[in-house]
Amino acid sequence: MKFHALLPVRDEADIIRQCLEHLLTWCNAIYVFDTGSVDNTWEIVREIASNDSRVITICKEPVYYCETKLRGYMFHYARQYMEHGDWFLRVDADEFHHVPPPEFIKTQLRPHETIVYHQYYDFCLTTEEVAAWERGAETIKDRQKPIAERRRYFIPSVYSEPRMCRYRSTMQWPINCSFPVNAGFVAQKRLPIRHYPNRDPLQLERRCRLRAIMMADKTNRSNWTQPEQHHWSQGDWQKFIVDSNDPQLQYWETNTELPVINNTNHLKPPHIRIVQRLVHSFCLPMLDRQRPSFPDDARPQPISEAVNQTLIKELQIG
């Protein structure tokens, strides 16, 4: 049983090394697709890959991020290295698994559970931390420190989505889906992940500029559900700052346990789960044959040269 991580990246130079070092503590293979970084993300990835063959560089190509086309393409590429019974995960550069997936499977899953949703602990950038940045108490040099030491305040997320799945050779990930169809039987427990999307004001402002330019493309917007309401459409980085007095904020001491969150909103009602258990036990290979496969010639949507030049110009802020 091996673990395969699908990692799309873009302008993550401040954290990509920490991310890969974390993944390499438990991953057997990490597949990296750089969607057009204009910082040195790709150079860091290639450096680490040159010293560890588990980091597999798919390519660097300016394309739009898409939960369906990009993730599906990466799975289609990586599955040539997967074997029946392996596990694959969707991962991002700003995520750190609080419980290593191999340990989670051993201690938290039942044998018939084959797909796992995530439990995010969203680590925030607070008003006090922004003030510290503005007065110079924290600077860009602090990025050399572990992100777990820099951002200590979090809010547990209610939202959850599938992140880890046991591979079977017949499963299909169609081009219009964000995860394989009939992926498996959903586990009750969620995989705990520390999430650091907003790490400092400079990184956050840059992130918002990138996403605003991306979401301005009509074709790309058509791939998103309700794009006008999605956080990618928010161009004002200060909207993501959390008041230091927010009662939801909790403090985490590095290397201690996080509070256990027992949300079950990712589960279907019991009577439906009974039916799903039967179907997933006996019918999945047959259902897989009826699903469309990912086209061999399909690629993520390319970014035009004009838009790419705009990104290069706009993102030179740190």
Q: How far apart are CA 214 and CA 299, in angstroms?
A: 17
pLDDT in tens, 284-302: 989 999 999 999 999 999 9
Amino acid of residue 229: Q
pLDDT category at 318 given cuts 50, 70, 90 is very low
Q: What is the 3-state secondary structure (H, E, C) of 133-187?
A: HHCCCCCHHHHHCCHHHHCCEEEECCCCCEEEEECCCCCECCCCCCCCECCCCEC
Contacts of 126 by beta carbon, 8 Å cutoff, 6+ apart: 153, 241, 242, 243, 244, 246, 249
Q: How far apart are CA 166 and CA 2, in angstroms?
A: 10
Q: How far apart are CA 66 and CA 71, in angstroms?
A: 7
Please tell me the pTM assigned to this model. 0.94
Task: Give the range among 6-20, 257-271, 278-292 with minimum mean pLDDT.
Answer: 278-292
Q: pLDDT above 70 covers what percent of the chain?
A: 95
Q: How far apart are CA 58 and CA 36, in angstroms?
A: 13
Q: How far apart are CA 14 and CA 144, in angstroms?
A: 8
pLDDT in tens, 146-188: 999 999 999 999 999 999 999 999 999 999 999 999 999 999 9
The DSSP symbol for 215 reads H
Task: Give the range among 60-64, 126-130, 228-232, 299-303 with minimum mean pLDDT.
Answer: 228-232
pLDDT in tens, 11-67: 999 999 999 999 999 999 999 999 999 999 999 999 999 999 999 999 999 999 888
pLDDT category at 212 given cuts 50, 70, 90 is confident
- Quote the pLDDT of residue 317: 55
